[in-house]
Amino acid sequence: MSTTLIQNGTLVTDRHTFHADILIENGRIRDVAPSIPNTNADRVIDAAHMLVLPGGIDVHTHMDMPFGGTTSADDFETGTRAAAIGGTTTIVDFAIQAKATKMRDALDTWWKKAEGKVCIDYGLHMIVTDLGTSGLEDMDDMVREGVASFKLFMAYPNVLMVDDATIFKALGQTAKNGALICMHAENGSVIDVIVQKALAEGKTAPIYHALTRPTRAEAEAVHRAIALAEMAGAPVYIVHLSSEDALNQVREARDRGLPAFAETCPQYLLLSINDMDKPGFEPAKYVFTPPLREPHNLPKLWDGLRHDHLQVVSTDHCPFCFADQKILGKDDFTKIPNGGPGVENRLQLIHHHGVGTGRLSLNRFVELVSTTPARLFGMYPRKGALEVGSDADIVIWDPNAEHTISAATHHMRVDYSMFEGFHVRGNARQVLSRGEVIVDQGKFLGKAGRGQYLRRAARGGAWK
């Protein structure tokens, strides 16, 4: 039996900020009280002048993911190590069903990718590409394995895109089994027409990735996704929402009382299409989907976070190295692997630009990066909480630590940062995962493979 005592800290949850000590026993929180005397704890952490937060939860990452003839540069070891250093103690990654195969095959494949490597606890969503004859029962089978959420694509025709009938059937199945459907909402068919026209006109530079994906194509798909969910009687979660146009659709639905939810990501909050105004092929660093938008969208997304029109900040971490992967699209922007790195910097960026600027309270910050993701995806209160019985996934956060983000010092296995030179105040000092100190002052102390697969519960927060 091992015990750790965290003393003198200021605890921050989604609801409250208060002084308390935390006693951890065998990986779980055993006691939370104003003052817990040290009888004989194996380890004492002095958190004076520090904030004590539930560990970050990033529900949108792509480690070791095949895309366009290459694979995302972080595997489950390098990616989750970087996540931990930045204060994230849980990820939910995506397994991808190959067409005409069982979802179980994909689950096995992704479990193998994580095995022996993953440094923090992880769950998996299942990307549905094919609902053939056994597809719907396959979904129930996945729910029994703790895959309590599915992702469907309204974009990427002939690769990942599914039609409205498939989306509607999948939503209908979740109305029975209590899983949550996550939608990549962009009108892929229309975008494809715009893209083909651009290529025919010789427009092959990276900037055309952004210019061929209008915000209306995102808004239309968000509207359609929500309408389909409403007809099916199921909640829906929009991933990586990037624009005011799309946000308006979510807000309108929520105002009508529909269980529609959405996440956005640091890149959409802090970068705009103007950041692609760089020489040569460098804009390829910002080629991901949806693309960066016009600057006027940014304050609208911050407002959305503040007023709960948006509920979650995730990263869509999907790194590809500039030198040898992004370059695949040197002569054709459609060949640039889509994705960017970010899993390490989410808490730093949202704390600095959200809490530090007064846009978000500390409690709202915790809600967005930890508690709501845990609730919506069936992990609460084991994760996302500082309650007796919760896993001791805890970040000792120094609100005054200064840090400059750079590819030269980050831990993600990728040769650039989207946030190069960004200066932040506030950083993780220590990170505990199930009671084990896995990060101390930026140094990873945990062991690869120590992370556990999380069996997530159906009928999570989206159903309440």
Q: Which two tokens stand for residue 350?
A: 């949202």
Residue whose C-alpha is closest to residue 317's, from 293, 296, 338:
338
Closest separation in Å from C-beta 125 to Zn ion: 10
The whole-angstrom distance between residue 357's C-alpha and the CA centroid of its chain comes to: 23
Interacting span for Zn ion (CB under 5 A) from 252-260, 315-323, 356-364, 428-436: 315-323
| Only segment of 36-44, 218-226, 316-324, 438-446 that touches Zn ion (CB under 5 A) | 316-324
Which residue, 157 or 442, is less far from Zn ion as judged by CB? 157
- The least distance separating Zn ion from the CB of residue 38, rounded to whole angstroms, comes to 44
What residues contact residue 361 under an 8 Å CB cut-off, 6+ apart? 355
Judged by CB under 5 A, the stretch of 203-211, 296-304, 310-318, 360-368 that binds Zn ion is: 310-318
- CB closer to Zn ion, 338 vs 430: 338
Q: Which stretch binds Zn ion (CB under 5 A): 139-147, 190-198, 312-320, 324-332?
A: 312-320
292 and 275 Cβ atoms separated by less than 8 Å: yes
Total residues contacting Zn ion by CB under 5 A comes to 1
Cβ-contact 150, 128 below 8 angstroms: yes
- The smaller minimum CB distance to Zn ion, of residues 30 and 285, is found at 285
The single residue listed with the structure tokens 């068919």 is: 189
Residue placing its CB nearer to Zn ion in the complex, 316 or 344? 316
Residue 97: partners with Cβ closer than 8 Å, 6 or more residues away: 103, 105, 106, 126, 127, 128, 129, 130
- Which residues are CB-contacts of 258 (< 8 A; sequence separation ≥ 6)? 226, 229, 230
Tell me which stretch binds Zn ion (CB under 5 A): 51-59, 129-137, 282-290, 313-321.
313-321
With CB under 5 A as the contact rule, which of the stretches 161-169, 194-202, 314-322, 357-365 interacts with Zn ion? 314-322
Cβ at position 390, least distance to Zn ion in Å: 28
In degrees to the nearest 10, what's the CA dihedral of 226, 56, 179, 67? 80
Judge whether 55 and 383 are in contact, CB under 8 Å: yes
In terms of CB distance, is 75 or 316 closer to Zn ion? 316
Give the length of the chain.
464
Residue 183 CB, shortest distance to Zn ion, in Å, is 11
121 vs 316, which CB is nearer to Zn ion?
316
The nearer residue to Zn ion, 263 or 316, going by C-beta atoms, is 316
Question: Measured from the CB of residue 318, what is the shortest distance to Zn ion in angstroms?
Answer: 6
CB nearer to Zn ion: give 288 or 380.
Answer: 288
- CB of residue 412 to Zn ion, shortest distance in Å: 16
Query: Is residue 58 a contact residue for Zn ion (CB under 5 A)?
Result: no
User: Can you tell me the distance from the alpha carbon of 392 to that of 394, in angstroms, rounded to the nearest whole number?
Assistant: 6
Output 21 or 316, the one with its CB closest to Zn ion: 316
Instruction: Tell me how far, at minimum, the Cβ of 8 lies from Zn ion, in Å.
Output: 39
Closest by CA to 372, choosing from 58, 103, 38, 130, is: 58
- Name the helix (H) or strand (E) containing 93: strand 88-96
Under the binding rule (CB under 5 A), the answer on residue 316 touching Zn ion is: yes
Name every residue whose Cβ is closer than 8 Å to that of residue 288 and which is 6 or more positions away in sequence.
267, 316, 318, 338, 339, 340
CB of 56 to Zn ion, least distance (A): 17
| Comparison of 242 and 249: residue with beta carbon closer to Zn ion | 242
Segment near Zn ion (CB under 5 A); pick from 63-71, 96-104, 119-127, 309-317: 309-317
Q: How far apart are CA 11 and CA 387, in angstroms?
A: 11
Residue 379 CB, nearest distance to Zn ion (Å)?
19
Distance between CA atoms of residues 383 and 374, nearest Å: 6
Closest-approach residue to Zn ion (CB) = 316
Q: Tell me how far, at minimum, the Cβ of 202 lies from Zn ion, in Å.
A: 30
Nearer to Zn ion, 74 or 316 (CB): 316
Write down the H helix ranges in 256-405.
266-270, 297-306, 346-350, 362-366, 372-376
Q: Stretches 12-20, 276-284, 308-316, 402-410: which one binds Zn ion (CB under 5 A)?
A: 308-316
Q: Is residue 263 near Zn ion by the rule CB under 5 A?
A: no
Q: Is 8 exposed, middle or buried (0-12, 13-18, 19+ CB in 10 A)?
A: middle
Shortest CB 225 distance to Zn ion, Å: 15
CA pair distance 52, 326, nearest whole angstrom? 38
Contact residues for Zn ion, defined by CB under 5 A: 316
